[in-house]
Amino acid sequence: MDNTKCFCHFNGFEVKDAKARKSITDIETELIAVNENANNLDTKIEENKTSTIVINEELANVKENVSSNSYDIGVIATGLNTANSNITKNESDISNLNTNLETTNNNVTNNANNISALSEQINNIHTHDNKEVLDSITEDKIKAWDLGNGNSYSTEETIVGVWHNKKPIYRKMYIATKLTTTQLQINLGDTTDIEDFWINNGISHLKPNSGVRYKPLNTYESADNYIRAEASLASGTGVIYIAGSPNDYYAGTVYVVFEYTKISDVVESEV
């Protein structure tokens, strides 16, 4: 049988000779390759579809985020505009405050100048020739002068003058009875504030029970006729002691004038 003249069919095509059949083998191989490529393309198409779906989802998310961010950006922009407006207003307020502060400072300076000028005028008014004497007048001195230059005697504490250190002199009179056989003791109470002190012997005296002959305190006539007074402030409690002859001539009513200054009084020279 002559195969060169043989007819055969392949996939619906009529093949006339052996050379043609050889080509069919090649074609089959190529078709197989084509089919594989087609399958690969199908796989890639499916993969692309999946990728497309993912991409579409991502795009949807992006659009949503863009929409949300657009809203946030709008809010931020509005906030920025408000902040800028507030900054502008604050700058204006600060400028006004600076202006007011400058005005206040000018007023303070003017007031200080006015006060200085007024003080100078007052000083010029108080230019007496005896300015130092007038300035040394104190309330205590005025009280002493009102009392008649110290001629006041009371059982109450009284200011009667001014001591050498410009402190007020206080006076208090004590009245007690001296018996013939005992030493008289007059308690002064708390004396912790007393500084200088003394008994005013020029005024202090004894009025005897017998006769009208007054005896100054601290009188000595003889060993049997005397009277003595002294003050002690030991331990912060003051006492005046009156001792005298044990007879009626040196017994009676005692008037003791006690004078003193105080630690608590402060004078100008001590300030």
Task: Please indicate, yes or no, whether residues 123 and 168 belong to a single structural domain of this protein.
Answer: no
Task: Please indicate, yes or no, whether residues 122 and 149 belong to a single structural domain of this protein.
Answer: no
Q: Is there a domain that residue 191 lies in?
A: yes
Task: Please indicate, yes or no, whether residues 118 and 17 belong to a single structural domain of this protein.
Answer: yes
pTM of the predicted protein model? 0.47
Q: Is there a domain that residue 121 lies in?
A: yes
Chosen domain end from 72, 94, 127: 127
Task: Please indicate, yes or no, whether residues 31 and 96 belong to a single structural domain of this protein.
Answer: yes
Task: Please indicate, yes or no, whether residues 226 and 185 belong to a single structural domain of this protein.
Answer: yes
pLDDT tens sequence for the chain (271 residues)? 444 444 455 455 555 555 555 577 777 787 888 888 778 887 878 877 887 888 888 888 877 777 777 777 778 888 888 888 888 888 888 988 888 888 888 888 888 888 988 887 777 666 667 677 677 777 766 766 665 556 789 999 999 989 999 999 999 999 999 887 778 999 999 999 999 999 999 999 999 887 667 889 898 989 888 999 999 998 889 999 999 888 888 889 999 999 999 999 988 654 4
Q: Is there a domain that residue 259 lies in?
A: yes
Task: Please indicate, yes or no, whether residues 74 and 198 belong to a single structural domain of this protein.
Answer: no
Q: Is there a domain that residue 218 lies in?
A: yes
Task: Please indicate, yes or no, whether residues 144 and 116 belong to a single structural domain of this protein.
Answer: no
Q: Is there a domain that residue 133 lies in?
A: no
Task: Please indicate, yes or no, whether residues 24 and 80 belong to a single structural domain of this protein.
Answer: yes
Q: Domain of residue 57: give its range.
A: 1-127
Whichever domain contains 159, its CATH number is: 2.60.40
Chosen domain end from 74, 106, 127: 127
Question: What is the C-alpha end-to-end distance of the chain, expressed in Å?
Answer: 158
Chosen domain end from 95, 127, 159: 127
Task: Please indicate, yes or no, whether residues 112 and 233 belong to a single structural domain of this protein.
Answer: no
- Total structural domains in the chain? 2
Q: Is there a domain that residue 132 lies in?
A: no
Task: Please indicate, yes or no, whether residues 154 and 266 belong to a single structural domain of this protein.
Answer: yes
Task: Please indicate, yes or no, whether residues 150 and 86 belong to a single structural domain of this protein.
Answer: no
Task: Please indicate, yes or no, whether residues 45 and 149 belong to a single structural domain of this protein.
Answer: no
